[in-house]
Amino acid sequence: MAKAIVIYETTYGSTETMAKAIVAGLKEAGVDVELKKVLSTEVEDFKDMDAVVLGCPTYHHDMIGTMKTFLFKMKKADLKGKVGAVFGSYGWSGESVEMLSDTMKHIFGMEMIEPGLKLKGTEVLTGEKECKEFGKKIAMSIKEGRGK
């Protein structure tokens, strides 16, 4: 069974809502998924994963500090060639999503699904379908053998 891990950070819960719907989409597409917050994720959690999905909102045109620090921990895992995807809630600029995607592509050598999924905080409650579809897109990418 294909395996994915979804790791996120949030302050007010919008990115968490997105994370849960993406997980639901992955599960509906037959992927075994783990959902974790950044601070409870360890390097060992990446073992045997076919895809890694990161979620982070944008504050002050930047990602949340805990996610930034986490990327140095994540660098210790061998993620080269694995499928990667990013999502996040935002207000008006939403830089976190591209920032994370860039690091996953250029530093970790992952096969990124681009563009990542960005939803305004005001759109999250009506965005469940879009998040589920994004989850299914990730599942499709794994099944097509991207990241192998």
Ligand X SMILES: Cc1cc2nc3c(=O)[nH]c(=O)nc-3n(C[C@H](O)[C@H](O)[C@H](O)COP(=O)(O)O)c2cc1C
Q: Binding residues for ligand X, per CB under 6 A?
A: 10-15, 57-61, 89-94, 121
The total of other beta-carbon atoms located within 10 Å of residue 145's CB is 9
C-beta of 102 vs 144, nearer to ligand X: 102
Identify the CA nearest to 63 among candidates 136, 116, 17.
116
C-beta of 33 vs 67, nearer to ligand X: 67
CB of 135 to ligand X, least distance (A): 17
CB of 45 to ligand X, least distance (A): 21
CB of 29 to ligand X, least distance (A): 24
CA distance to 37, 81, 101, 144, per residue, from 56 (Å):
10, 22, 11, 26
CB of 121 to ligand X, least distance (A): 3
C-beta of 55 vs 84, nearer to ligand X: 55
C-beta of 75 vs 93, nearer to ligand X: 93
Question: 89-127: b or e for each residue (b if 16 or more CB lie within 10 Å)?
Answer: bbeeebbbbbbbbebbeeebebbbbeebbbbeeeebeeb
